[in-house]
Structure 1
Amino acid sequence: MSTDKADCGDISLLLKKMGEYLDRYQRFEHDDAMQQPAHWRDVLNQPVPQQGVGIEKLMEEIGMTLIPNGSQIPNPGCTSFITTGATNAGVLANMAGAVAAPQRLGLTAFNYLEELSLDWMAEMFELPSHMKGVYSSGGSVANLVALGAARQWVFEQRGSDPARDGISHRCHIYTTRACHRTVHRAAAVLGLGRDSVIAIASDSMGRMLPNALMKQLDQDQRGDIVPVAIVANAGTTGTGAIDPLRLIGQLARQYGVWFHVDGAYGLPGILDPKVRHLYDGLELADSVIVDPHKWLGAPVGIGATFVRDRSILHRAFTQQASDYLEGSFADTKAEHSMDSSGVPYYDFGVELSAPSRGAVVWALIREIGKEGLKERICRH
């Protein structure tokens, strides 16, 4: 029988039982979820419960019906997705944040780890020391944030504020046919339009041809089209191709165009000495993204955007002052963890409420270190 109060506290016994269910799942001795779909659908497909079943019965349903019919993605033999199963360190840190820091804001250890873990990744992946980042839910939002920064910067150069006024000028984003489709969606959301994304010719390996890019930039200059960003790939989804970053970055500087590098899954490849040279020119980027929920082994839901000047993100995405927030945080010296929001990541992207993702990335790196991650990348 249930009570009128959800179960909170005394979580250790529940976690022990949950751990047993998950250990059994990770042995992958069970059938695939689609072997007996009618069975688990019949168990789960119930009307809205008027009376709850209580935490013990719920745990049984989770362990006996839900978990065994989960995804094959964590299976070591699954090669269908770039996202992976999470390591124990990521799972545990994720759970710790869910309980101890359900929001990333505040003067907490979790808020501190947002910045520290971003800095760790920037250093490991050889980004310039001035680049600062912000977490989001994955590559879709990470690309959106980066291109939002590009839009803000290019129109500020023309004397306007697109975050305030919107845009009324035809724009182009330059990439290849191999780019991730989240770039097109970001263009749509930002008001640039999907058709603003121009496919530049590539070679037989799927790498952008700099001469074709230069030709398109020259043509657009004559046509009075605003060049918002060049999006280069540091690891395409289909083949892992890396565009010639230095040549593209130099063209971006020459034409005054924002240079964005999509390294959602491929950026950690820079740790492999055999392919390190392919990332030459990465330091020219104005923005770079990476997804820790791919090669780093984080639970799905963690992406990061790095930009050369984080104040651009603030101008592009700030919520601005609100009456309902007036007085929420103290202007004087903080004496309590909630006297300040800490680093205001909510003004650097599109998320206000957000989990403590930095603790997860910190745990992943802290557990095995840069050398452990390097060994994984090289082995893969």
Structure 2
Amino acid sequence: MTDSRRSPIEIDEVLFRTVGHQLVDTIAQFFDSIKERPVTSGELPKQLQEILGHSPLPEHGIPIEKLLTKVSTILLNHSLFNGHPKFLGYITSSPAPIGALADMLAATVNANVGAQILSPMATEIEKQTVSWLAEFIGVSPNYGGLLVSGGNMANFTGFLAGRTAKAPKRIKEEGLTGLSAPLVFYCSKATHTWAEKAAILFGLGANAIHWIETTADRKINTLVLEQTIKADKEKGYQPFLVVGNAGDVSTGVVDDFRAIADICKTYNLWFHIDGAYGIPAAAVPSQQGLFAGIEEADSLALDPHKWLYSPLEAGCTLVKDPNHLLETFSSHPVYYNFDNTEEEIPFQNFYEYGLQNSRGFRALKVWLALQQVGKSGYVQMIEEDISVSNYLFELASRHPELEAVTQNLSITALRYIPQGYNPSDDYLNNLNEALLNELQKGGQVFLSNALINDQYCLRSCVVNFRTSKKDMEEIIDIVVNEGRRVHAALRQK
């Protein structure tokens, strides 16, 4: 009888080292050549399915050398690369190379960071990462929290903590139907769609969102906010939460947090900041005035996989009083043996802080990058992203066929306007939408869209440590040349 088991999924040390080195070489070459590649292959699902093939599930295993060579070729030749210097669409950053190595190491340990006993060192690393993120953006490192998958989950976590804190205590036993007054909360019309998801998924209903109009500069109108809260209380509603935006997704505008905080204190409301995109800019000295008042927030959402350049997935919720997370999410089924209150420092079990029980080791890539770069390195990169975005706005302002529409943080919105056309012409919305579709398929540059004052705009968001001013000059030429071609084609129809 042998004293060991040989499983078909094992890889012996020599082979692992050989294929691992080859894969790292391939990835290193990819990082070095990414600027020369197209941003996207632009292939349609049918084309991609043909490349992948239609074979059934293999009955027998395939050699790992062949598998890794094949999958590297497929992914590195038929993907969209958000690490490309001309990827400026949506808010997915260029991933830090150290994050790729960190994910490999994290997968090797395979820590379940739901309970301290299952992930002793990983738990401590995540605790330190949360503290460092709080310190980085300028709030107390005593804020507690956890790493989550992204902005939706980070905002959901803060939202639920706020609901538990401000709703009547019987909500945990009786649910929403046991409340004497309907819960309502407040967002500006520029707030991300997560707020609508939260209202629907967590039982309040979409009508529980009381949307507040924005001012001319797209900030939440705090005068209207306070008037609406007063009117709602008189109507028998129970307000519980206000959302402030630290960089709205369309234009990057930051709300007036001090004014929101004052209103929340007056009416005993939970103050939540959606900083999934923009709040890392609070660390930049020249931008700190925009974020005055963030220390008043009861909870904040930020995404390291946005402006801290972490590979997906990495979001984070920070809460001023971490006990609100425990009150919201903690449960103690009899089959859990995860507590040890006899220790000098009690165990922290992250399953009690959020929606997940089983949790991957997301913190490692963030923790390593924060140390590799340091605060000063991140401040430098964020400043450069803002400067590059400003440069695009300036170039668009000077070009006779472009209209520079807005610029905030690292987001610039612009439109292509053929010479001789009135900027209010309805045709321009169709033209710019058609132009964006062509740009996204073409592989030279990847932008997204924003609807600003009913005008369809091309939107550029720079959260990319590879993007330079030279890229912006080239993007202007690409947009104008493609705009002329699309305009000519539309006019012929």
Same fold? TM cut 0.5: yes
Cα distance in 2 for residues equivalent to 1:366 and 1:77: 27
Q: 1:239 aligns with which of 211, 236, 251?
A: 251
Report whether the alignment pairs 1:106 with 2:106. Answer: no
1:91 Cα deviation (Å)?
1.6
Cα distance in 1 for residues equivalent to 2:281 and 2:172: 35
Cα distance in 2 for residues equivalent to 1:154 and 1:19: 50
TM-score, normalised on structure 1?
A: 0.90
Report whether the alignment pairs 1:152 with 2:161. Answer: no
Q: 1:18 aligns with which of 20, 23, 42?
A: 23
Asked if structure 2 preserves the Cα contact closer than 8 Å seen for 1:25 and 1:68, the reply is: no
Cα distance in 2 for residues equivalent to 1:114 and 1:138: 16
Q: 1:321 aligns with which of 317, 322, 332?
A: 332
1:37 Cα deviation (Å)?
6.3
1:162 Cα deviation (Å)?
2.3
Report whether the alignment pairs 1:64 with 2:76. Answer: no
Deviations 1:3-51 (A, max 9, x none): 9611346333222211232234332345543358666522423212111
Q: 2:9 aligns with which of 6, 9, 33?
A: 6
Q: 1:331 to 1:132 in 2, by over 3 A?
A: closer
Cα distance in 1 for residues equivalent to 2:233 and 2:138: 33
Letter in structure 1 aligned against 2:134: A
Q: Which moves more between the two structures, 355-364 or 257-266? A: 355-364
Asked if structure 1 preserves the Cα contact closer than 8 Å seen for 2:220 and 2:256, the reply is: yes
Asked if structure 2 preserves the Cα contact closer than 8 Å seen for 1:151 and 1:162, the reply is: no
Letter in structure 2 aligned against 1:48: L
Q: 1:143 aligns with which of 155, 158, 171?
A: 155
Cα distance in 1 for residues equivalent to 2:42 and 2:278: 31
Root-mean-square deviation (CA), in Å?
Answer: 2.2
Asked if structure 2 preserves the Cα contact closer than 8 Å seen for 1:152 and 1:161, the reply is: no
Cα distance in 2 for residues equivalent to 1:12 and 1:204: 59
Report whether the alignment pairs 1:76 with 2:68. Answer: no
Q: 2:366 aligns with which of 358, 361, 369?
A: 361
2:393 is matched with none
Cα distance in 2 for residues equivalent to 1:12 and 1:81: 37
Q: 1:42 aligns with which of 41, 47, 50?
A: 50
Secondary structure of 1:235's counterpart equals: coil
Counting aligned pairs with the same residue, the percent is: 26
Secondary structure of 2:153's counterpart equals: helix
Q: Which moves more between the two structures, 19-28 or 87-96? A: 19-28
1:165 Cα deviation (Å)?
2.5
1:313 Cα deviation (Å)?
1.1
Letter in structure 2 aligned against 1:33: S
Cα distance in 2 for residues equivalent to 1:37 and 1:321: 46
Cα distance in 2 for residues equivalent to 1:328 and 1:142: 24
Asked if structure 1 preserves the Cα contact closer than 8 Å seen for 2:116 and 2:349, the reply is: no
1:129 Cα deviation (Å)?
4.0
Q: Which moves more between the two structures, 368-377 or 281-290? A: 281-290
Asked if structure 1 preserves the Cα contact closer than 8 Å seen for 2:116 and 2:338, the reply is: no
Cα distance in 2 for residues equivalent to 1:329 and 1:212: 47
Mapping of residues 199-210 of structure 1, within 5 Å: 199-210=211-222
Asked if structure 2 preserves the Cα contact closer than 8 Å seen for 1:21 and 1:67, the reply is: no
Q: 1:286 to 1:18 in 2, by over 3 A?
A: same
Deviations 1:193-244 (A, max 9, x none): 1221111121122101111011001101101111120000011001110111
Q: 1:331 to 1:272 in 2, by over 3 A?
A: closer
Letter in structure 1 aligned against 2:49: R
1:249 is matched with 261
Asked if structure 1 preserves the Cα contact closer than 8 Å seen for 2:138 and 2:283, the reply is: no
Deviations 1:92-146 (A, max 9, x none): 1222111114312435322111010111111111113432111111110111110
Cα distance in 1 for residues equivalent to 2:194 and 2:381: 27
Report whether the alignment pairs 1:85 with 2:94. Answer: yes
Cα distance in 2 for residues equivalent to 1:254 and 1:39: 58
Cα distance in 2 for residues equivalent to 1:109 and 1:50: 39
1:341 Cα deviation (Å)?
10
Q: 1:4 to 1:179 in 2, by over 3 A?
A: same
Letter in structure 2 aligned against 1:312: H
Letter in structure 2 aligned against 1:190: F
Cα distance in 2 for residues equivalent to 1:368 and 1:228: 39
Mapping of residues 181-220 of structure 1, within 5 Å: 181-220=193-232
Secondary structure of 2:328's counterpart equals: helix
Larger CA Rg, structure 1 vs 2: 2
Segments of structure 1 that go 5 or more residues without pairing to the other structure are 335-339
TM-score, normalised on structure 2?
A: 0.70
Asked if structure 2 preserves the Cα contact closer than 8 Å seen for 1:230 and 1:259, the reply is: yes
Letter in structure 1 aligned against 2:9: A
Asked if structure 1 preserves the Cα contact closer than 8 Å seen for 2:112 and 2:361, the reply is: yes
Cα distance in 1 for residues equivalent to 2:346 and 2:95: 29
Cα distance in 2 for residues equivalent to 1:342 and 1:67: 43
1:330 Cα deviation (Å)?
6.2
Secondary structure of 2:173's counterpart equals: helix
Report whether the alignment pairs 1:351 with 2:360. Answer: no
Cα distance in 1 for residues equivalent to 2:67 and 2:77: 15
Cα distance in 2 for residues equivalent to 1:46 and 1:209: 57
